[in-house]
Amino acid sequence: MARRPRVFAPGLLYHVIVRGNQRQKTFVGERDYQSYLERLGKYRRKFDVALYAYCLMPNHIHLLLETSSQPLSKFMQGLQQSYTQYFNRTHRKVGHLFQSRYKAIVCDRDEYLIELVRYIHLNPVRAGLVRRPEQYTHSGHRFYLKGDGTGVLDPRPVLNMLGGRKRYEGFVLMGIDTGHNEEYYQVEDQRFLGNEGFGEKVRKKVEEQDARQAKRPLDAALKKLAKEVGSDVDILRSPDRSWEVSKIRALVAYVLVRRLGYRLVEVAAHLGRDTATVSTLTSRFSERMQLEARLKKNVERLIEIV
């Protein structure tokens, strides 16, 4: 069966699996793992990607991530090409390090986010590399146990959903004897992991996003959003850093970048901020929305209006 084209819309949750070309090792020594993580952090920040889990296995990689306005393909291209260049230079190799096409499964966040965090972090146990997940140093599990964010991933949104580090640890250990789950790989239309109708819902979301952007330029969308949240563009562009204005600014930036798909650099320019500032605003707002159902409802309302 021919492979389907990738699906992209801001805010989608992807389970990405990358395998070594012809099953070769993609990591030979500790320096390789660290080099990949450095690049993962760099490109995560550059493309405003939220990373929920990762596991670097000797010959393949698992990433659980959420995209913003930049397509997943750009993030993966930068990450994989940069690491391949490092690997070939360091180990005096030539040619492809990874398989030409990585798997990118669009997942239903409500149904699978927490389950996939556990499944990915238990990969080394299922492979027989360690007996317990905390013994494996090349996954995000240890950062969940500490509860600290890093330049690579921030465990706090998922920890908050589960009720803290101890509950996360117990949740993971409950699945330690669970084997390979084919459900996570044999997915609808080769692209979607979710309940019946999830794939059609995602396709509709992509079509609506494309149609919305074709009809409404960024400046018009910003003006409409500002009005709906009881503000105006001049206030959002002003130097005012008060809590009320900052809160509204973060909401508007999140909707424009993460949900409507406008480019981060363009939104930053329209708000009179640098891209790093707006990236931080959207990331922090995303964390808050995981904890406050009211915020999520407000975002959905604004998307429908704009």
CATH of the domain at 132: 3.30.70.1290
pLDDT category of residue 189 using cuts at 50, 70 and 90 = low
Q: What mean pLDDT comes out for the span 196-221?
A: 74
Residues 130, 20 within the same domain: yes
Residues 183, 277 within the same domain: no
Which CATH number covers residue 228? 1.10.1750.10
Cβ atoms 127, 141 nearer than 8 A: no
pLDDT category of residue 215 using cuts at 50, 70 and 90 = low
Residues 64, 135 within the same domain: yes
**Average model confidence (pLDDT) across the chain:** 87
Residues 189, 220 within the same domain: no
DSSP assignment of 213-234: HHHS-HHHHHHHHHHHTT--HH
264-271 and 243-254 helices, crossing angle to 10°: 150
Residues 245, 188 within the same domain: no
Residues 81, 118 within the same domain: yes
Q: Using the predicted structure, report yes or no on whether residue 1 has a pLDDT greater than 70.
A: no
Total domains in the fold of the chain = 2
Percentage of the chain lying above the pLDDT 70 cut: 93
Q: Is 211 within the bounds of a domain?
A: no
Q: Using the predicted structure, report yes or no on whether residue 28 has a pLDDT greater than 90.
A: yes
Q: Is 66 within the bounds of a domain?
A: yes
Which residue, 230, 293, 285, 231, is CA-closest to 256? 285
Given 127, 160, 193, the domain boundary residue is: 193
pTM above 0.85, yes or no: no
Domain membership of residue 244 as a residue range = 216-305
Reported as a single tens digit per residue, the pLDDT across 123-134 is 999 999 999 999
- Backbone conformation region of residue 261, classed left if phi is above 0, alpha if psi is from -120 to 50, else beta: left
Which residue, 71, 45, 102, is CA-closest to 278? 45
Query: Would you give the end-to-end CA distance of the chain in angstroms?
Result: 39
Q: Is 204 within the bounds of a domain?
A: no
